A = this chain, B = another copy of it.
Amino acid sequence: MTAVVLDINLSLDGGIAAEGGRPGRPLGDGGDRLRAWATGPDADRAPRPAGTAGALVCGRRTYDTSPEWGAGGPHPPTPVFVVTHAPPADPVLDGVYTFITGGIEPAFAQARAAAGRRDVRIMGGAAIGRQFLAAGLVDELVVHLVPVLLGAGRRMFDDTDAGPVDLELVEVVDTPVATHLRYRLP
């Protein structure tokens, strides 16, 4: 059955990217350490690897800074649904990207349809991830906890009015470059 997985590279101090994100350097200056695990020898041990996803959802910033996500990129060619208020005037037209202007609900519906029996993977953009969490659309949270204190940068979690949400920890994969944690949401 399809699972909706929110996938996060997280520094120990709660960051998802350093300052200075730009095309070709989506994680900012010094932020590549947050995904160094993904090109290391233990990458395949991480839960819910990218190849298990049938569709990806991300925000506009991720699209703008991660052009390599399209066909020919490191991920298997997978439909990517980009949630944005304003589609780019000159989008990459390689059959991978679809731009969704109506918010996360239509993005979710289209991603789920495209994924078939495979996972929908929410990745790229703290705001998008928080919106999916707040809407109760996330089944699993996969955190790649990286042993670094970023100090400054973009943070995953903000204060919300929601009360505590208890998670069930279902998998821990311990590697030197990241502690991979898989949680099930209620």
Option from B159, B168, B179 in Cβ contact (under 8 Å) with A172: B179
Complex interface bits, A143-170 against B, C-beta within 8 A gives 1, otherwise 0: 1010111111101110111111111110
| Oligomer copy total | 2
A136 to B181, CA, bound (A): 29
- Which chain A residues numbered 128 to 146 have a C-beta less than 8 Å away from chain B? 133, 141, 143, 145
B-chain residues with CB within 8 Å of residue A156 when the two chains form the complex? 13
Q: Which residues of A contact B (CB under 8 A)?
A: 11-14, 18, 30, 33, 133, 141, 143, 145, 147-153, 155-157, 159-169, 172, 174, 176, 179, 181, 183
A176 touches B169 (CB 8 A): yes
Q: What is the CB-to-nearest-CB distance from A136 to chain B, in angstroms, rounded to a whole number?
A: 12
